[in-house]
Amino acid sequence: MDALTLAEKWQIKRMHDLLKRQLKRHFGGLDSIPKEWQAFVKTVNDVYWESDRNRIALEHMLKSTTEDLTYAGSELDAQHKRAELEIQNLQRYNRGLIETSLDPLVTFNQKGIILDVNNATVQATGRSREELIGTPFADYFTDPEKARKGAMMVFKKGEVRDYELVMKAKDGTETTVAYNASLYRDQTGGVIAAFAAARDITDLKRSEAEVRLERDRVKVSIQNLVDMQDKLIRSERFAAIGEAAAYLSHEIRNPLMVIGGLAGLIEESLSDDDSNRVNLEVIQREIKRLESMLMNVTDFTRPSRLKRELLDINSTIKNAMTLMENDLRNREINHEQSLDGDLPIISFDPEKVKQVLINLLKNAAEAMPNGGKLVISSWRENGYVKVSFTDSGVGISAEIAEKIFNPFFTTKKKGTGLGLAVSRRIMEDHGGDISLQSKKGKGTRAIISLPIDVVENECS
Ligand code: ADP
Ligand code: MG
């Protein structure tokens, strides 16, 4: 019987029912079925009950399977619920992390459109979540183009670090931020969006600027210190040189006077046509040159006391020019003047400053042995009156330029090397300055400056 299929069993059941109904109708009841039919009916009945037992077993099996399945289903349901709860908790935790962050956090998609923001972003922008979500990330910065580039960069490079931007709040408040961003992905590695954090670095920038300012201040004071040291060394060297020079000039002056006097006596004793007269003239000329050099040295070594007057520097320039006019003409030097007629009156020693101007004019003239051009200018600049002499002479090479202010440094056969040293000392005594700019072979520009403020205070 085991071999019977369900369909066969079903067929048997139908036949059994049909038979029972036919027998009932035919014989008027099961009890009245003739003996010869009884065996047949019994066989059919047996077959039926056998199939029915199978059916019941099957039904039982089905039922227990269904129960198993229902249990498994409810277990699955419970598991699913637990997982859901866990996810919810995790989401709440993540959200909490994001919300408790003091830095503005934003997620945006590949088009740079904001998907979500935290409370810090709401605070920093002065705009609600609803206002922010769905709008371009770049809109909330002073330089939207730079912000847009920064937003796109994260999708290209995978991350962006310390990209500096200035965030602009609704009320106009600007905050300098370092923007950091990276991508977040689904399980398959596909990019979902970019996650960006903006750290306020306004204070950092401010202290950075302060440090820079402080550093500049230190730099200036160091420079001042170096300048002062320079001056000190110079004045010490000057003092030493001065002492030696004063001693030497004292030692030379007397014999020189004796030589000069004796040369005069010899000259008187010579007849007019004596051939030695020419030699004696050379002796006397050289004595004069040495005397004038000694004068220079004394000037240089004597502590200077200024005889200040209130004057227009242009008048002193014109004085000096008158003295040099002949010299310039003889050397075929064209000169041009460009003097500011509105210069303030300033306080200076006119004799000393004239000496400086003559020293500079002489140097310019000597730098143009074959003639050239000289431009004399005066102007007012940053609290100083300035005068410059620009020549088209031989110029000064870089290595020589370092030494030109040293006393006794000269490149000339008959030079004393004192012109610039003396000039610098005079200018510094006035609280002013002297400098030379030069290009070898092109020419030189000497500039002096005298302060204005002293006089303006005196006048008021
Ligand atoms: P000196 O004129 O007696 O040589 P200075 O102190 O006046 O002494 O000048 C020093 C040196 O500086 C000069 O020998 C020369 O080499 C250089 N110098 C100064 N002024 C000029 C100039 N205008 N053009 C070229 N060289 C110059
Ligand atoms: Mg000179």
Ligand 1 centroid–CA 448 distance in Å is: 15
Cβ partners under 8 Å of residue 111, min gap 6:
136
| Atom 13 of ligand 1, residue of closest alpha carbon | 410
Q: Is the CB of 364 under 6 A from ligand 1?
A: yes
Residue 459, pLDDT score: 45
> In this predicted model, which residue has the larger pLDDT, 53 or 389?
389
Ligand 1 centroid–CA 357 distance in Å is: 13
Residue 349, pLDDT score: 95
Task: Enter the DSSP assignment of 371.
Answer: -
Cα–Cα distance list, 456 to 191, 233, 308, 310, 348 (Å): 73, 33, 14, 10, 13
pLDDT band at 390 (very low <50, low <70, confident <90, very high): very high
Q: Please give the helix or strand (H or E) that residue 149 lies within, else none.
A: helix 144-157
Q: Is the CB of 410 under 6 A from ligand 1?
A: yes
Ligand 1 centroid–CA 446 distance in Å is: 11
Residue type, position 106, single letter: V
Name the closest ligand to CA 365.
Answer: 1
Residue 347, pLDDT score: 94
Average pLDDT over residues 315-326: 94
Average pLDDT over residues 313-324: 95
Q: 3-state class of 182 per DSSP?
A: strand
Which of 357, 388, 410, 437 should be mutated for ligand 1, with most atoms under 8 A from CB?
410
- In DSSP notation, 396-456 reads --HHHHTTTTSTT---STT--S-HHHHHHHHHHHTT-EEEEEEETTTEEEEEEEEESHHHH
| Strand segments (E) across 201-322 | 309-311
CA-CA distance, 419 to 446, in Å (whole number)?
A: 13
What's the count of helices (H) and strands (E) in the chain, helices before strands? 12, 12
Tell whether the model's pLDDT for residue 376 goes beyond 90. yes
Task: Enter the DSSP assignment of 106.
Answer: E
Q: 3-state class of 29 per DSSP?
A: coil
Q: Is the CB of 417 under 6 A from ligand 1?
A: yes
pLDDT band at 458 (very low <50, low <70, confident <90, very high): very low
Q: Please give the helix or strand (H or E) that residue 395 lies within, else none.
A: none
Straight-line distance from the first to the last Cα atom of the chain, in angstroms, rounded to the nearest whole number: 138
CA-CA distance, 13 to 8, in Å (whole number)?
A: 9
Structure tokens at 296: 């220079």
Q: Please give the helix or strand (H or E) that residue 164 lies within, else none.
A: strand 159-168
Name the closest ligand to CA 415.
Answer: 1
Phi and psi torsions of 61, nearest 5°: -60, -45
Residue 235, pLDDT score: 72
> In this predicted model, which residue has the larger pLDDT, 311 or 46?
311
Residue 67, pLDDT score: 78
pLDDT band at 229 (very low <50, low <70, confident <90, very high): confident
Sheet holding 105-108, edge to edge: 114-117, 105-108, 191-200, 174-185, 159-168
Tell whether the model's pLDDT for residue 226 goes beyond 90. no
443: β partners: 439
> In this predicted model, which residue has the larger pLDDT, 374 or 28?
374
Q: Which atom of ligand 1 is nearest to the CA of 391?
A: 23
pLDDT tens by residue, 182-220: 888 887 888 888 898 988 888 888 888 888 888 888 888
pLDDT band at 460 (very low <50, low <70, confident <90, very high): very low
pLDDT tens by residue, 262-298: 998 998 898 888 988 999 999 998 898 888 888 777 7
| Atom 18 of ligand 1, residue of closest alpha carbon | 363
> In this predicted model, which residue has the larger pLDDT, 266 or 34?
266
pLDDT tens by residue, 151-183: 999 999 989 999 999 999 999 988 889 989 988
Q: Please give the helix or strand (H or E) that residue 189 lies within, else none.
A: none
The 3 state secondary structure assigned to 130-147 is: HHHCCCEHHHHECCHHHH
Tell whether the model's pLDDT for residue 4 goes beyond 70. no
Cβ partners under 8 Å of residue 391, min gap 6:
364, 365, 367, 368, 372, 373, 374, 443, 444, 445
Q: Are 101 and 118 in contact (CB under 8 A)?
A: yes
Ligand 2 centroid–CA 315 distance in Å is: 22
Q: 3-state class of 258 per DSSP?
A: helix
Residues near ion ligand 2 (Cβ under 5 Å): 363, 419
Tell whether the model's pLDDT for residue 329 goes beyond 90. yes
Considering Cα of 118, then 121, then 123, then 127, what sign does the dihedral take? negative
Tell whether the model's pLDDT for residue 416 goes beyond 50. yes
Q: How crowded is residue 266: how many other Cβ atoms within 10 Å of its Cβ? A: 14
pLDDT tens by residue, 128-146: 999 999 999 999 999 999 9
Cα 56 from chain centroid (whole Å):
91
What percentage of the chain carries pLDDT values higher than 90?
42
Which position has the token pair 């750290």? 199
Q: Is the CB of 396 under 6 A from ligand 1?
A: yes
- Number of alpha carbons in the 13 Å side-chain half-sphere of residue 292: 9
CA-CA distance, 348 to 376, in Å (whole number)?
A: 19
Q: Are 124 and 198 in contact (CB under 8 A)?
A: yes
Q: Is the CB of 293 under 6 A from ligand 1?
A: no
